[in-house]
Structure 1
Amino acid sequence: MMEFSRNEVRDLLIALVVLSFSFAIASVGIDAHGIISFFPIVVVGVATGFILREIGQKFVAMKCGCEAEFKLWPIGLLIAFATAFIGMVFAFPGEIRTFPGQITDEINGKVGLAGPLANMMLALIFIVIAALIYPFSLHSIIIHLIFLICTVGFSVNSFLAAFNLLPIYSLDGIKVLKWDAKIWIVVFAIAVIMMLSSITIGAENMVELLIG
C-alpha cells in the first residue's frame, strides 16, 4: 500500500500551490484580478498533472523494490515563480527520492519515465474531454468553464512532460536517456510535438480542428 509521510504531503501541497500561481502568472501576467480568476482553472491542470506524476513515479519505484518519497526543492520553486514573470515556467519543484540511493540505471530510468508518461496521458484525456463537450460549451457557462479547464490541462501537462524530459541534471530526461536512448528520443519527440501544438496552434483551436 502506498503511504505518504506528513513531510511528503506538506511538500507536495506547497509545490502545488506555488506551481499553480506560477502558471497563472505566466498565463495572464501581472494582473491580480486575472491571476485570482485564472487560478482555479489552472490549479486543476497543475494538481492532476503534478500530483499524479509524483504518485506514478513513487508507484514505479515501489514496484521495483525501492522506498520512495517526494522531497521539495525550495530554490527550484523560487526559479519557477521568478520565471513565471517572463511568461515561461521553469519548474523544479522537487523530485522523488529513492532508497537505497544506489539503484540501477534501468530502475532509475523507469521511475523517471513514469512522470512524463502520466502527464502525456492526462494531456490526451483533457483534450479528448474538451473535444467531446465543446459543442455544449457554447450554451452553458458551467460546461464552458470545464472546457477551459480541459484546454489549460492539456497545455500544462504537455509542457510538464516535455520540460521534465529535457536531458538536464535532476530532470527525468537524463535518467531515461542513461537507461535507454531510443525510448527517450521517441517519448521526448512526442512530448515536444504536443507542447508545440499547444503553443503554436492552441488547445482551443486544436479542439475545433479535431471535431471539424
Structure 2
Amino acid sequence: MSIFRFSQREIIDLTISVLAIAFIFSYPNFSILVFIISLIAVGSGFIFHELMHRTVARKYGAWSEFRAWYEGLILGFILKLVFGATFIAPGAVYIYKDYLTPEENGKIALAGPLTNVALAFVFFILMLIFKPGSLLYWIGIFGFHINLFLAGFNMLPIPPFDGEKVLKWNPFIWAIVGLPLIGYMLYMMFW
C-alpha cells in the first residue's frame, strides 16, 4: 500500500482531529491568530507523528490507517471548556498485519516521537531565525516546546503509548530516547 494513498475516511478523520486539537490548544485565548499558531505548531506535530507511524507500518507490509477517536475529542473539548484542562486523545493509526515482530512494532512506535523531535528542531530554527515577538518566532517557540512535550508523553512506557512498544523491543533505545524526552515533558509540566 502506497504511503501517499489516503482513504476518504482517513482524510476526514485527520482533518477533524487536527482542527479539534488546534481549538483545544488555542482556548481560552482563542483568536484566529492563536488558532493558526496552534494549527501549525500542534497540528503539524500531530499529523506528522501519526503519518510516520503509518508510513513505517506500511514499509513493513502492514495495512495502516488513521482513525479518529471521536469520544476522545469530545472529552478533550469538555475538559477544556469546563475545567480548563488540556487533554488530547484524537485517535491513532490502526495497524494490521498477521504478525509484526517486536522489532517492527518498536520501530513503528518509535517513528512518531522521533518525528516530533525532528519537528522540534525545525521549530527551534524558526526561533533562531526570526525576531522575538514576530509571528514566526511564536510559532517556532510553541512548536518547539509542544513537539518535545508530545514526544516525551508518547514515550511513556505504559500501554497504549509508543514508549511501551519501544521498551518491549529494545530497553536501551527506549532509555536513550525516552528518558530525556520524558524528563523534558516533566520539566514542562512542573517547573
TM class, shorter-length: 0.7 to 0.9
1:209 corresponds in structure 2 to none
Identity across matched positions, percent: 36
CA RMSD of aligned residues (A): 2.1
Deviation of the 1:88 alpha carbon = 4.6
**In the alignment, is residue 8 of structure 1 matched against residue 5 of structure 2?**
no
TM-score scaled to structure 2, two decimals?
Answer: 0.87
- Comparing 161-170 and 48-57, the one that deviates more: 161-170
| Rounded Cα–Cα distance in structure 2 between residues aligned with 1:48 and 1:156 | 10
Aligned pairs (5 A) from 1:1-212: 1-2=2-3, 3-25=5-27, 29=28, 34-36=29-31, 37-85=33-81, 86-100=83-97, 102-134=99-131, 137=132, 144-196=134-186
- Comparing 11-20 and 75-84, the one that deviates more: 75-84
| Secondary structure, counterpart of 2:30 in structure 1 | helix
Give the counterpart letter for 1:106 in structure 2: E
State how many pairs are aligned. 187
Deviation of the 1:99 alpha carbon = 1.8
| Rounded Cα–Cα distance in structure 2 between residues aligned with 1:173 and 1:99 | 19
TM-score scaled to structure 1, two decimals?
Answer: 0.79
* 1:131-171, Cα deviation, whole Å (9 max, x unpaired): 1223xx46xxxxx0111111111122122111111223222
Moved over 3 A (4+): 82-88, 193-201
| Secondary structure, counterpart of 1:70 in structure 2 | strand
| Rounded Cα–Cα distance in structure 1 between residues aligned with 2:85 and 2:99 | 34
| Rounded Cα–Cα distance in structure 1 between residues aligned with 2:87 and 2:69 | 13
Residue segments in structure 2 that go unaligned for 5+ positions in a row: none
- Comparing 95-104 and 172-181, the one that deviates more: 95-104
| Rounded Cα–Cα distance in structure 2 between residues aligned with 1:13 and 1:166 | 26
| Rounded Cα–Cα distance in structure 1 between residues aligned with 2:144 and 2:76 | 19
> Quick check: 2:67–2:91 contact (8 Å CA) kept in 1?
yes
Residue segments in structure 1 that go unaligned for 5+ positions in a row: 139-143, 202-212
| Rounded Cα–Cα distance in structure 2 between residues aligned with 1:78 and 1:180 | 35
> Quick check: 1:19–1:81 contact (8 Å CA) kept in 2?
no
Higher helix content, 1 or 2: 1
